[in-house]
Amino acid sequence: MNELIPIMVIIPMTCALLLSLFSNQNKLIKGLAFFVAICIPIIPLLSNYGLHYFGGHAPLISNLTGVLYHPAVTYSFQSLQKLFIFLLGILVFLVVFIYINSYKKASGPYLFLIFMGTAAITALMLSDDIFHMFIFFEIAALVQVGIIAASSIEDRYETALKYMIMGSIGGPMLLLGIGILLAITGSVNITDIVYAINHNLVSMNSPVFLLACGLIFFGWLYTSGLPPFHTIKSAVYSKAEPHAAALLQAFTVITLVSILIAMFRIFSNLPIFEALLVGFALLAMILGISMALTQNDFRRMIGFLAVGELGFIVLGIGLNTEFALTAGLFQAINEMIVTALLFIGFGVVADLIKTSDIRKTGGLIAYYPKLAIMILIGGFSMAGVPPLNGFQSKLMLIQASLSSGFPEISIIAILVSIATFVVFVKVFYAMFLKPKPNDLVIPNKKVPRSTIFAMAILLIMCIILGLFPSIITGYISGFVGGLL
């Protein structure tokens, strides 16, 4: 077993507890948070691929069938987990760096939420146990509620309460579906469940199995913020602090990917499963861009675009080819990077001018030219403008749709990308290029250096992955080959 695998969860979780315990020691919690934030992306780079069995309980071999059975919670660390956990670590470092440089006195409870959420999402990505995944998803959901409530944005409590109410519906349905799988397969280990299905120990056409699929799928829609939960998810992003919104979106993307891969392994042989994925992917793409086009609040606009971009990820998985899966997971990586860049950029603008209404903005390029350029390039990346990373993954998705015999889907993807470009041009003009309104007061404040640094790192990543996509797709292809 590789002992570094559980450390990826233990370190941020322990750090979270220590930050809460010593919350009154400002210098101590700042130093501890910064040190652990540096360690988090390093650990997955040092760890070897493999499995970890908690309690040292290795799989048991049945004397009758010779089949392996997993009695303990199992963590699986492969190339895809390495990639996502490393990128999550980079984002956590940037978020912590922005936070501790923006506030003279750091909040121990707030940093507790950041690191506890990181631990939960990391465990979600590593786990080969679907019930274990549910537990850490619930922890992550509570963390997100706390991060929203801790922000300084108006109506944050209402949004946090709405998200909790939605969770009281989606979470139990997800748990009920998991309970049904346990009842019919005798296990919550995903590998064991897949074995039972593939060896006809469970009837895939039975109403109970289909019910489990439906319940888990509905719960996954809630966890991912896909329709019909897209409005509350976009509101969550708009009510969080800029750096926190970037991290919340990363949490959402990894949650979507982790549970989707688990569902894909269990339910991919159901003919209706791929149709459901493609259908909801297209719905998310269309609704996301449609609602973004109607927004005057640029925070809500980015929130809806972020939801729509999730549809591209799901589309790649739903097409169910090796190339399409690689494209969808590459899109997930790009989504985490680009959306973090835009949330931070647009958020700092709103903090500086005290408004997020594009009808009340204008002329900001004269005051914040560096910020404007970085936001523009980030918007172009999300819209799929070459040679940025968003272009590479969306081009792959279009090619995958064509090779799968669905040119209509390719056309929809192209139209959504064009509409995304139109949204950004409209917002960029309204914020930075049109004449400044007479009543807009721009304070004599500079954009914090920590924010510029974080955005520059994310922008460099957009450019590098756009020019050299094989850096990422090589890792993903190795995982997808084993998945199929």
Q: What is the pLDDT of residue 90?
A: 95
What was the pLDDT predicted at 341?
93
Give residue 59's pLDDT band: very low, low, confident or very high (50, 70, 90). confident
Is residue 21 assigned to a domain?
Answer: no
Confidence label for 399 from pLDDT (cuts 50, 70 and 90): very high
Distance between start and end Cα atoms, the chain: 25
What average pLDDT does the segment 447-473 reach? 91
What confidence tens digit (pLDDT) does each residue in 263-278 have? Answer: 999 998 888 998 999 9
Q: For tokens 């990894």, what's the residue?
A: 254
Is residue 362 predicted with pLDDT exceeding 90?
no
Measured from the Cβ of residue 155, the count of other Cβ atoms closer than 10 Å reads 11
Domain that holds residue 349: 129-483
Total-model pTM: 0.93
270 in any annotated domain: yes
pLDDT on residue 123? 94
Domain membership flag for residue 100: no
Instruction: Among 76-85, 102-111, 165-174, 215-224, name the one with the lowest average pLDDT.
Output: 165-174
Minimum mean pLDDT range among 219-228, 280-289, 456-465: 219-228
The fraction of the chain above a pLDDT of 90, given in percent, is: 44
Nearest to 448 by CA among 103, 35, 147: 103
**What pLDDT sits at residue 282?**
93
* Domain annotation covers residue 109: no
Out of 18-27, 105-114, 176-185, 223-232, pick the least confident.
223-232
Q: What is the 3-state secondary structure of the chain?
A: CCCHHHHHHHHHHHHHHHHHHCCCCHHHHHHHHHHHHHHHHHHHHHCCCEEEEHHHCCCEECCCCCCEECCCCEEEECHHHHHHHHHHHHHHHHHHHHHHHHCCCCCHHHHHHHHHHHHHHHHHHHECEHHHHHHHHHHHHHHHHHHHHCCCCCCHHHHHHHHHHHHHHHHHHHHHHHHHHHHHHCCCEHHHHHHHHHCCCCCCCCHHHHHHHHHHHHHHHHHHCCCCCHHHHHHHHHCCCHHHHHHHHHHHHHHHHHHHHHHHHHHCCCHHHHHHHHHHHHHHHHHHHHHHHCCCEHHHHHHHHHHHHHHHHHHHHHHCCHHHHHHHHHHHHHHHHHHHHHHHHHHHHHHHHCCCEHHHCCCHHHCCHHHHHHHHHHHHHHHCCCCCHHHHHHHHHHHHHHHCCCHHHHHHHHHHHHHHHHHHHHHHHHHHHCCCCCCCCCCCCCCCHHHHHHHHHHHHHHHHHHHCCHHHHHHHHHHHHHHC
- Mean predicted confidence (pLDDT) in 123-148: 90
425, HSE (Cβ side, Cα atoms, 13 Å): 8
In this predicted structure, the answer to whether residue 178 has a pLDDT above a threshold of 90 is: yes
* Structure-derived torsion over alpha carbons of residues 138, 253, 427, 161, reported in degrees to the nearest 10: -10
Mean pLDDT of 417-426: 90
Q: How far apart are CA 328 and CA 478, in angstroms?
A: 14
pLDDT of res. 231:
80
Q: How far apart are CA 428 and CA 452, in angstroms?
A: 18
- pLDDT at residue 482 greater than cutoff 80: no
Residue 57 confidence (pLDDT): 74
Mean pLDDT of 49-74: 73
Strands 74-77 and 50-53 turn out to be antiparallel
What is the model's pLDDT at position 484? 61
Is the separation of the CB atoms in 384 and 451 below 8 Å? no
Cα 67 to Cα 432: distance, rounded to the nearest angstrom:
63
CA 312, 317, 321, 325 torsion-angle sign: positive
Asked whether residue 56 is assigned to any structural domain, the reply reads: no
Ranges 55-59, 70-74, 401-405: which has the least confidence: 55-59
Quick: pLDDT tens for 202-250: 888 889 999 999 999 998 988 888 888 878 777 788 788 888 888 989 9
Highest mean pLDDT pick, 87-96, 186-195, 298-307: 87-96
Query: Within 10 A of 13 (CB to CB), how many other CB atoms are there?
Result: 18
289 has a pLDDT exceeding 60: yes
Q: What is the mean pLDDT of residues 177-189?
A: 89
Q: How far is CA 420 from CA 210, 230, 347, in A?
A: 36, 17, 19
Do 108 and 24 meet the contact criterion of CB atoms below 8 Å apart? yes
Between CA 284 and CA 282 the distance in angstroms is 5
Pairing of β 60-61 and β 50-53: unpaired
The answer, yes or no, to whether residue 66 has pLDDT greater than 60, is no
Q: Quick check: is 3 in a domain?
A: no
Amino acid at 471: I
Which pLDDT does position 187 carry in this prediction?
85
Position 394 scores a pLDDT of 93
Kindly state the average pLDDT of the residues 318-346. 92
In a domain, 272, yes or no: yes
Phi and psi torsions of 200, nearest 5°: 60, 30
- Work out the pLDDT band at 1, boundaries 50, 70, 90: low
- Per-residue pLDDT band for 67 (boundaries 50, 70, 90) equals low
Domains held by the chain: number: 1
Q: In the predicted model, is pLDDT for residue 114 greater than 90?
A: yes
Range 154-168 average pLDDT: 78
Model confidence at 293, in pLDDT bands (50, 70, 90)?
Answer: confident
Please give, one letter per residue, the 3-state secondary structure of 135-196: HHHHHHHHHHHHHHHCCCCCCHHHHHHHHHHHHHHHHHHHHHHHHHHHHHHCCCEHHHHHHH
- Per-residue pLDDT at 176 exceeds 60: yes
What radius of gyration, in Å, describes the C-alpha atoms of the chain?
22
- Tell whether 375 is covered by a domain: yes
- What is the model's pLDDT at position 62? 61
